[in-house]
């Protein structure tokens, strides 16, 4: 859904589940009318149980609770885990249940990767954090590195409309009872701050490139610095050209990417791009303290985004995603300083000289991974959109 910026919002940065989960539980406990939650992964661990129990308690006191999980992202979570929710009166839907695990096509690969929560139309959460413990699959003893944002203000009306439409579409496809319609929450999303915010949601129809365009417009307007943190980074040629053009005009371009990879093939494909980017003056750090999962960026301490969208063809062209774009110097500076602090503590710099002398077989392996990724994208009929 493409919307413009709204003024009068208040956005709070949340780092990792350690900050996100208590804030989400507190908001759910304050709910009086409605709680909506969309998440890719809803894991049956301690954090998942805490969120589930808070949702169930809200449903028991008469709050309309609607939870949507992804059919692949949450396929390891038994549906019996959600029995406490449904028995309390909540409704749980799975987005595209994975009934054909060995079938590869665009339909099966279109996932709901969004991580959004909305409470009474007055408190929202948007980011990259799934409902899963910080240490689960963190690939080390340190917590997974991720971000979300708590938001209040008029932009929540756009978030509510997007969540409502997604719910109705999934319910219709599954022959489930239609959402009776959202309560009147127009007075809830009132001006509470001074920040200018835009909610950018991509779907598989008219708004396929909205998040990518938001990034590119910010990069094209950059004057001093661009800092992008992204675990799955495999952008198309247009995006890479925007980065290189910005670097050539003197903008400091920094990328913080995964060092500890949970998808090694994609990491190898990404590394096939390093020589080009490093050769044009782009700085690349790989984070290896734990799993890097955040999808955030900031430009010139004036523009920032926090959301669920990676910069790879599957996120940009197939998945339903949601990002907040915030035009506020204070928030952008806070996000940049937080990323840089973690970068200095747990990332290593990739030098152009080191990548130029990589063994031939390493370069060949990375190149083959990149070619294979393009082959998959071509097989899905998405090459033109990706380039």
pLDDT (tens digit per residue) in 316-360: 778 899 999 999 999 999 999 999 999 999 999 999 888 888 898
Q: How confident is the model at residue 139 (pLDDT cuts 50, 70, 90)?
A: confident
Q: Higher-confidence residue: 356 or 90?
A: 90
How confident is the model over 182-201, as a mean pLDDT?
A: 79
Q: Count other Cβ atoms within 10 Å, centred on residue 284.
A: 23
pLDDT computed for residue 108 by the predictor: 55
Is there a contact between 29 and 215 (Cβ–Cβ < 8 Å)?
no
Which of the residues are catalytic?
113, 115, 120, 293, 295, 300
Residue 151 to residue 197: CA distance in whole angstroms: 9
pLDDT computed for residue 8 by the predictor: 95
Domain at 6-197, CATH from 3.20.20.70, 3.30.870.10, 3.30.420.40, 3.90.580.10: 3.30.870.10
Spans of all domains in the chain = 6-197, 201-386
How confident is the model over 161-175, as a mean pLDDT?
A: 85
Q: How confident is the model at residue 204 (pLDDT cuts 50, 70, 90)?
A: low
pLDDT computed for residue 1 by the predictor: 43
pLDDT computed for residue 50 by the predictor: 97
Q: For 146, list phi and psi in degrees, rounded to 5.
A: -155, 170
CATH architecture for segment(s) 201-386: 2-Layer Sandwich (3.30)
User: Does the pLDDT value for residue 2 go beyond 50?
Assistant: no
pLDDT computed for residue 356 by the predictor: 82
Provide the percentage of residues in the chain whose pLDDT is more than 70: 89
How confident is the model over 218-227, as a mean pLDDT?
A: 97
The CA–CA distances, whole Å, from 203 to 147, 157, 208 equal: 22, 18, 5
- 89-93, 130-134, 169-173, 203-207: least confident range: 203-207
How confident is the model over 215-228, as a mean pLDDT?
A: 97
pLDDT computed for residue 205 by the predictor: 64
Q: How confident is the model at residue 35 (pLDDT cuts 50, 70, 90)?
A: very high
**Inter-helix orientation angle 237-248/210-220, to 10°:** 10
Structure tokens at 378: 């071509």
3-state SS, residue 216? helix
The CA–CA distances, whole Å, from 42 to 76, 92, 93, 304, 307 equal: 9, 11, 12, 27, 17
């Amino acid at each position: 859904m493409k919307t413009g910026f709204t003024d009068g919002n208040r956005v709070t940065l949340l780092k990792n589940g350690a900050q996100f989960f208590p804030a989400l539980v507190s908001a759910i406990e304050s709910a009086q009318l409605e709680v909506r939650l969309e998440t890719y992964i809803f894991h049956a661990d301690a954090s998942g149980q805490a969120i589930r129990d808070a949702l169930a308690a809200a449903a028991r006191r008469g709050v309309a609770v609607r939870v949507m999980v992804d059919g692949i992202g949450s396929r390891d979570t038994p549906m019996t885990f959600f029995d406490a929710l449904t028995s309390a009166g909540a409704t749980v839907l799975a987005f595209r249940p994975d009934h054909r695990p060995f079938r590869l096509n665009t339909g099966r690969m279109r996932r709901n990767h969004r991580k959004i929560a909305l409470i009474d139309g007055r408190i929202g959460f948007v980011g990259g954090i799934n409902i899963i413990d910080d240490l689960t699959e963190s690939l080390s003893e340190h917590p997974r590195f991720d971000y979300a944002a708590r938001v209040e203000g008029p932009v929540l009306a756009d978030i509510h409309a997007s969540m409502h439409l997604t719910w109705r579409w999934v319910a219709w496809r599954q022959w489930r009872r239609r959402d009776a319609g959202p309560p009147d929450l127009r007075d809830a999303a009132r001006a509470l701050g001074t920040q200018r915010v835009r909610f950018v949601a991509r779907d598989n129809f008219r708004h396929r490139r909205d998040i990518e365009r938001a990034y590119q417009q910010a990069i094209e307007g950059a004057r001093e610095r661009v800092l992008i943190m992204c675990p799955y980074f495999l952008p198309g040629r247009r995006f890479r050209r925007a980065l290189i053009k910005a670097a050539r005009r003197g903008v400091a371009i920094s990328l913080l990417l995964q060092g500890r990879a949970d998808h090694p093939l994609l990491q190898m494909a990404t590394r096939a791009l390093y020589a080009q980017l490093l050769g044009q003056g782009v700085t690349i750090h790989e984070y290896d303290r734990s799993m890097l999962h955040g999808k955030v960026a900031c430009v010139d301490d004036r523009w920032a985004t926090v959301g669920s969208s990676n910069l790879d063809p599957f996120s940009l062209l197939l998945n339903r995603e949601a990002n907040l774009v915030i035009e506020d110097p204070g928030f952008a500076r806070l996000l940049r300083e937080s990323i840089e602090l973690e970068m200095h503590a747990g990332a290593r710099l990739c030098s152009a000289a080191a990548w130029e002398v990589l063994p031939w077989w390493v370069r060949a392996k990375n190149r083959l991974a990149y070619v294979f990724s393009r082959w998959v994208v071509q097989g899905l009929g998405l090459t033109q959109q990706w380039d």
